[in-house]
Structure 1
């Protein structure tokens, strides 16, 4: 009877040992399979996120360029105030000359046609 018990115990030990060896031998394969499964499921979503981020980056770069261009235009306008003042002075001179011409023209018309004035 002792020999039979010993055989049962040896069988249990060898079965457990075999099972442990099987698990250890297949563990890397299972891990790689799970990893592959995860990558296959998540890769399309990650690729879409990457494409979205690249699109947003391009839009942002375009917006940044537009803002920088507008800022430089505004800065350059501050330096053109001298030119605007010069234009304003020339316009005032032109208006005064036009008034003088109108006055001279109306005097000339009155001198030729004394009854119209």
Structure 2
């Protein structure tokens, strides 16, 4: 099941305090980026954040799940998705540990 655009828009609105947030459609689902760095996915109307040590400490009782079959587990964010301040802070914390995007090769 593909994610609904209304859900994607809601998530982007919730985390807009984390930087310049964009969503790119990928295989019927969405990659979520802040300032050009991918940090999460939206699959089946669920938000998944890439796992980091600091993110795990911030969340506390982490729920991990694969966003799609064959994917590595990510942090599944469910109840806290309504808390914009909490979610924005999680994104900022996670971004600090994630690597910078690789420069694109010129064709």
TM-score by length of 1: 0.18
Which structure carries more helix by proportion? 1
TM-score by length of 2: 0.19
- Greater RCO, 1 or 2 (C-alpha within 8 Å, sep 6+): 2
Answer with 1 or 2: which has the greater Rg.
1
Which structure carries more strand by proportion? 2
